[in-house]
Structure 1
Amino acid sequence: MFHLVVALLAIIIVIIGVTLFKWHAFISLLVATLFLAIFSGLSLDKIVTGIETGVGGTLGHLVGILALGTILGKLMAESGAGIQVSNFFVRTFGIKKLPWAMLLAGFITGIPVFFEVGILIVLPLVISLHKTSKQNLLLIGLPAIAGLSIAHGLIPPHPGAIAAIGIYNANMGKVLLYSLIIAIPSAILAGPVFAKWVSKRIKPEQEPELIKIQDMDNQKLPGTGISFLVILLPVILMVFSALVPFIGMSDGMKKFFGFIGSPLIALLISVFAAMYFLGFRQGLNKNRMKTLVEECFLPVGSIIAIIGAGGGFKQILIDSGVGNTIGEMAQHFSLSPLVLAFIIAGLIRIATGSATVALTTAAGIVSPIIQHMTGVNLELLVIATGAGSLMFSHVNDAGFWMVKEYLGLSVPETLKTWTVLETILSFVAFGLALILDVFI
């Protein structure tokens, strides 16, 4: 209980530091991390090592992706490609149906890519649509984020779902089928429905700063087809990479397509495509292109620092034993395996901030408990664990800070929108899993 109280106080320090003292989020997270490490009893020689491990582990796969994704978004914004795509959505779906269009865009994008990558692909489009349609940014942005998040949390081939399938020895085909049945209504409620409600009550105080959309002459805009190609290219490469193992190819070709379909390389290829189609062909010279790319690194440096500090905070939470404490406490409850997995995953998610860590850790805790049980639906157990891992994202989650920074929200606004959205996704998906368990 002492560990849990210290963890809760550390989270409060982050929120007070950012909102009351107006500290930069990086400073607030570092102060909270040191408080947590010292008062949870970690030896002084392990504190700095733990923070460095957490920062490195979090940023190791994200730095390149964040940098390239921001460059891609900047080129789409500067060239007007984002406006072209948003104009197409407005013409095709109409302004009233834009939240549904963005839910679909986020969901489809989220199936093959990591959440962090999907954010960087979809949010420039969200910001363009916000500028074109004059709609509340939350009304358009939250449905896209809901689609991305539910795909990341429940649907294979995302790492957490794959790991849980292996730990529980569940059938992947059934998990995929059930997760789609559950994910779609969950995303609808947490996306368009919640967005419509909350957009009437919250209007972001600031405009997004990381990606700014400029007014442009329509005659200077790139073609709609080229604009779609550039924004979809990383998704196409990643989808093809995921399908390659099921296509008859030599091992060398499989490795090649797996390489170009990895998030980092897919985004790099897409950046070069954007430089050519949205840059040079639109009349930008080499010096202007170099300036545009350099302009991306100043704002992205801040978010990299914040996400890195969040990773350090997460690692200290893990090293201090908060996650293990929660798991041990939850094992003593006499609950249905689905309920137990949901609660353990949810508590670990709140403590550590990582959906993947919560999902895999909870599966590891629950797996021995169910070994001697009969009648447990292993596929729905995977989904219930995944649903718990989405719960209550807050200041120790990299996704929290990405949504905040890219949408230009304050910390309280992010808690009232993104955190609530994640919790709706979590509980609706869990409820639907319980209902399916009755009939399957």
Structure 2
Amino acid sequence: MGNLLPVLLAVGLLTLMIAWGKVQPLLAFVVASLVAALLLGVPPERIPGAIEKGIGDLLGSLVVVICLGAVFGKLIADSGAARRIATCLLDALGPARIPVALTVTGFVVGIPLYYNVGFVLLVPLIFSLVAGSGRPAVALAIPLLAGLSIAHGFLPPHPSPVALVAAIHADMGTTLLYGIVVAVPTLILAGPVFAMSLRRIQATPAAIFRDGAQVDDTRLPGAFNSFASALLPVLLLAATTLLAMARPDLDGALKFFSNPLVVMLLSYLVAVFTLGLAQGRTLSQVMQGPGEAMREIAPILLIIAGAGALKQVLVESGVSAELGAQLQSLPVQPLVLGWLVATVIRICLGSATVAGVTAGGIVAPLVHSSGVDPNLMVLAIGAGSLMCSHVNDSGFWMFKEYFGLSLKDTFRSWTLMETLVGVFGLLFVLLLSMFL
């Protein structure tokens, strides 16, 4: 266990810098990587090259996919497709099933949209439903936000799952299919079922949020167009993955069409036409969104880059393989261990993305040494990265301030919902592993 101490010290330093020092995550990762390399005995002249290689290797395979996911999600939001999906589901299921409609809305809209975008876009819808139905705001919000959160933590093309797929050599399409299997029962329990216990919590949202609830629905795209465009990446990945399983002889051709870069590019080009040009917008108007999306995604790309630097230092020092053997010797199931590592980092740092990609770098050698299914490990780490959201998580404060809640009620609703997502997510991953 001699080389484990430097790794723990480096992760502790990373936690200290980000959580208490408020250091920009990329800078914190680079400093922690330098310290880890020196403590692990990497020759000083090789350290800068290792850090650069780690950043380049991880970002090289991800940056285009993540950026395409960002601009695709931005177009889904700006075109009104996300709003149309929400209103269509609410109309179809009726007033008596509003929580179910919001649960499905959060999950479906959460697949193409990044969490913060989905939150800001859909919370006004919740307030308009509160005004029209008289139902408690928190009990309506939790099912929708559980759907957004689960998609954010479990499913590609979100940054953390995409980075984890690359870090531990999983398959994007298979991870997506397994993720949906795990996500649905997790969402039911942590969303509408849990929300039934929150009816007595009273929200007092600020006027600025309530006043933004009314949106003109007359120029929204059609329902079929909205659903088909938003879910196209999922449909393409799922279809090519299932076809590859059924027809192994087509594997060569399907590798091109199932590549996440090709899937996201095709989906975006289709959406540019169906949600942009076909709706009467000019190409220059449609292209205003990508610039804003790139600015929004840049901090996440820097976090992933920093995690790549730390991962490469562990590989360069030789401690990665040793760490995998040591972790394997622990009397804990590998999937549970990956979940625990992500949970600890999440509690310390707050960010689900940082927790996911950092845990992936630490647990990657365990995946190879133990033979555990890498696709399930992605989901187990994703579940751990959502655990126990509290005061160091921006999502905690967004929920508290938008709904005007006390700290006690925020812990009782938001924090407990995120914890249920993490716990049930792991349980269903373990259950799924028994059948694979």
Please give the alpha-carbon distance, in whole angstroms, between the structure 2 residues aligned to 1:148 and 1:195: 20
Moved more, 232-241 or 345-354: 345-354
TM-superposition CA deviations, 1:213-236 (whole Å, max 9, x none): 997522211111111111011222
Tell me the TM-score normalised to structure 2 length.
0.65
**Structure 1 301/195 Cα, relative in aligned 2: closer, same or farther at 3 Å?**
farther
- Report the equivalent of 2:124: 131
Partner of 1:393: 385
What residue in structure 2 maps to residue 51 of structure 1? Answer: 51
Write the letter of the residue equivalent to 1:142.
A
Q: Deviations over 1:99-149 (max 9, x none)?
A: 64257649xx9xxxxxxxx56578755653333123667652333443675
Structure 1: distance between partners of 2:10 and 2:276: 46
DSSP-derived class of the 1:217 partner: coil
Q: What TM-score do you get using the length of structure 1 for normalisation?
A: 0.65
Q: What is the letter of the counterpart of residue 385 of structure 2?
A: S
Gaps of 5+ in 1: 110-117, 153-157, 166-175, 208-212, 368-377, 395-402
Aligned 1:218-237 pairs, distance under 5 A: 218-237=217-236
Separation in structure 2 between the aligned mates of residue 279 and residue 315 of structure 1, nearest angstrom: 42
Alignment partner, residue 64 of structure 1? 64
In the alignment, structure 1 residue 260 sits paired with structure 2 residue 257: yes
* Separation (CA, whole Å) in 1 of partners of 2:107 and 2:169: 26
Equivalent residue runs for 1:259-408 within 5 Å: 259-330=256-327, 335=331, 339-342=332-335, 345=338, 361-366=365-370, 389=381, 392-393=384-385
User: Aligned AA for 1:293?
Assistant: P
User: Counterpart amino acid of 1:238?
Assistant: L
- Name whichever of 288-297 and 240-249 sits farther off: 240-249
Which deviates the most, 126-135 or 52-61? 126-135
| 8 Å contact kept, 2:186–2:421 | no
Instruction: Tell me the distance in 1 between the aligned counterparts of 2:270 and 2:170.
Output: 37
Paired residues of 1:76 and 1:278 also in contact (CA < 8 A): yes
Which consecutive unaligned segments of at least 5 residues does structure 2 have?
128-136, 157-163, 346-354, 387-392, 401-409
Secondary structure of the residue aligned to 2:276 is helix
The change in CA–CA distance for 1:320 and 1:10 in structure 2 (over 3 A counts) is same
**8 Å CA contact retained: 2:147, 2:187:** yes
Distance 1:203 1:258, change over 3 A: farther
**Which of 98, 101, 104 matches 1:101?**
104
Q: 1:147 to 1:274 in 2, by over 3 A?
A: closer
Higher mean C-alpha displacement, 293-302 vs 265-274? 293-302
Partners of 2:14 and 2:416 in 1: how far apart? 18
Give the 3 Å change call, closer, same or farther, for CA 404–250 of structure 1 in structure 2: farther
CA contact 1:6–1:36 (8 Å) conserved in 2: yes
The total of aligned residue pairs comes to 380
Shift of residue 341 of structure 1? 3.6
> How many percent of aligned residue pairs carry the same amino acid?
24
Report the Cα distance in structure 2 between the residues aligned to 1:182 and 1:22, rounded to whole angstroms: 34
Superposition RMSD on alpha carbons, in Å?
A: 5.2
The Cα shift of 1:241 comes to 1.2
Tell me the secondary structure at the aligned position of residue 275 of structure 2. helix
Instruction: List per-residue Cα deviations over 1:66-123 (Å, max 9, x = no partner).
Output: 21111111112222111111212333444322564257649xx9xxxxxxxx565787
How far apart, in 2, do the equivalents of 1:223 and 1:182 lie? 30
Q: Partners of 2:273 and 2:216 in 1: how far apart?
A: 20
Distance in 1 separating the partners of 2:313 and 2:417? 24
Describe the superposition over 1:171-216 as per-residue Cα deviations: whole angstroms up to 9, x where unpaired: xxxxx999998776555555666788899799999x9xxxxx9975
1:217 and 2:210 aligned: no
